[in-house]
Amino acid sequence: MKYLVAGILKSGSEETVLKLRDEWNEHLSQPDRKISLMGLLRNNLGERRGYLAFLEADTFAEAESFMRQSPFYQNGLYERIEVSEFTAEIGDFA
């Protein structure tokens, strides 16, 4: 199943996010990750606001664990996270 996972960053977290770049890249590159699409979210001023991904997972709990294992989550940088099962109605992933 596909899941949408998103993390909205707390204001003022950009410096710490940048310091955790290597840990973040390692988190994303785990061989068991099946990420279909991932990207950075920016606000109207162009500031880093969060991340959103569509990933394959067998269960909701597995998709949620992806967020909880994130170095941003583990360092308290997310204001909130969102995990939702995703069912495409129009279009498909490339």
Average pLDDT, the chain: 93
Rounded Cα distance, 47 and 11, in Å: 10
Asked if pLDDT for residue 42 goes beyond 70, the answer is yes
Q: What pLDDT, on a 0 to 100 scale, did the predictor assign at position 94?
A: 66
CATH of 2-86, one of 3.30.70.1060, 3.40.120.10, 3.40.430.10, 3.40.50.920: 3.30.70.1060
Hey, where are the domains in the chain? 2-86
Say whether pTM exceeds 0.85: yes
Two structure tokens written together for 49? 């606001």
